[in-house]
């Protein structure tokens, strides 16, 4: 185990990525980076991190912002619950980031992995991180066949990571695990011939690289059909804010009709006054973690006297860019001739 840690840290010292949240010791900025990098590649997340730090340089500045502004700045990153949790957590800090593991772990949207990452990097506390990279590296090097999506598996990997953790450099060790999994021991085509651990790697020596880690459950995917309508009323159009409990919570969107099948019948939409919208965009396939959405876009011109029902509200077309929307909604709006 000591040889593993020593080799890993030696590799990290020579090959670590230069990232703006590294070697700064600021728990607030490290927290921002960790939340942004959940479900997001470093290459994409870095620009968002820099934007957030510029706009919200402290927990207090983030807490004082409106949710709409936070979501607008987050636009395009996806998994918007991260942004809402980020905002809620900042409000709970009273202007000061927590200094204990328990305090960090209690923040909304912070789990065991994120708490361990923040506390090890900012405070040098001896908590090991366990994520996809860690599962992959440990399962391959030590030949752990226990499925990673089971309770015994998570317990085993967590204990293994904790046992391996270099207590003198916990932050560097955790970052080394993440970098090594992202740069060498990758999910596809890992760099085994360049790996400093190859000689002692169970998976490499036993031709099990593609078989580890083991996962038992497959994600169930559902399909949904969204039909959006862009309403033209001179210089105005209509939006609504999505409610809780579904995708894109609290983001804005055009009038929507969802169906169980691909086809749509607009006759049930009373405010259309039996007028048939014109199709301007064929279905776009939008893939999320647990669902696939097929969305098309229609357009209709209505006289100013017609009002859409609540929760829709009328806005100036020139103000559209001020509202936080999903990546899919952004794509559809780009196809509209305002």
User: What are the angstrom distances between the C-alpha of 236 and each of 269, 303, 323, 330?
Assistant: 20, 11, 14, 18
b (16+ CB within 10 A) / e for 176-185 = bbbbbbbbbb
Active site residue 145: no
Largest CA distance in the chain: 76
Tokens coding 166: 């270099």
In 234-325 the beta strands, taken as DSSP E runs, fall at 236-241, 252-253, 256-259, 278-287, 291-301, 313-316
Two structure tokens written together for 266 = 């607009």
> Which DSSP symbol is given to 26?
-
Taking alpha carbons only, the member of 167, 170, 196, 164 closest to residue 183 is 196
115: Cβ–Cβ under 8 A, 6 or more apart, which residues? 101, 104, 105, 127
Name which of 207, 151, 197 is nearest 11 in CA terms: 197
CB 271 within 8 Å of CB 308: yes
Per the CB < 8 A criterion, the answer to whether 36 and 132 are in contact is no
Which residue in 34, 67, 102, 253 is the catalytic one?
A: 34
Chain-centroid distance, C-alpha 326: 13
Please give the positions annotated as active site: 34
């Amino acid at each position: 185990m000591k040889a593993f840690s020593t080799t890993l840290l030696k590799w990290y010292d020579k090959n670590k990525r230069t990232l703006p949240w590294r070697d700064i010791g600021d728990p607030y900025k490290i927290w921002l980076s960790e939340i942004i990098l959940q479900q997001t590649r470093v290459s994409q997340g870095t620009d968002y991190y820099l934007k957030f730090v510029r706009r919200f340089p402290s927990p207090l500045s983030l807490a004082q912002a409106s949710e709409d502004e936070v979501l607008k700045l987050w636009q395009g990153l996806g998994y918007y619950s991260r942004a809402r949790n980020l905002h809620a957590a900042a409000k709970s800090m009273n202007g000061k980031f927590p200094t204990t593991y328990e305090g960090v772990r209690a923040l909304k949207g912070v789990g065991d992995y994120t708490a361990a990452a923040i506390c090890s990097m900012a405070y040098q506390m001896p908590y090991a991180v366990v994520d996809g990279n860690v599962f992959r590296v440990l399962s391959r090097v030590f030949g752990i066949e226990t499925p990673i999506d089971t309770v015994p598996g998570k317990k085993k990997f967590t204990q293994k990571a904790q046992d391996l953790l270099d207590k003198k450099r916990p932050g560097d060790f955790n970052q080394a695990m993440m970098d090594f999994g992202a740069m060498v021991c990758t999910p596809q085509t890992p760099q085994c011939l360049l790996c400093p651990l190859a000689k002692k790697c169970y998976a490499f020596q036993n031709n099990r690289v593609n078989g580890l880690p083991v996962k038992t459950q497959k994600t169930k995917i559902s399909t949904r059909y969204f039909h959006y309508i862009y309403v033209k009323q001179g210089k105005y159009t209509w939006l609504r804010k999505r409610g809780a409990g579904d995708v894109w919570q609290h983001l804005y969107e055009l009038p929507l009709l969802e169906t169980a099948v691909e086809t749509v019948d607009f006759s049930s939409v009373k405010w259309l006054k039996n007028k048939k919208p014109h199709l301007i965009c064929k279905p776009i396939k939008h893939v999320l973690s647990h669902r696939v959405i097929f969305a098309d876009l229609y357009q209709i011109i209505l006289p100013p006297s017609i009002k859409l029902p609540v929760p829709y509200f009328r806005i100036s077309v020139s103000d559209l860019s001020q509202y936080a929307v999903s990546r899919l909604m952004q794509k559809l709006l780009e196809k509209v001739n305002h």
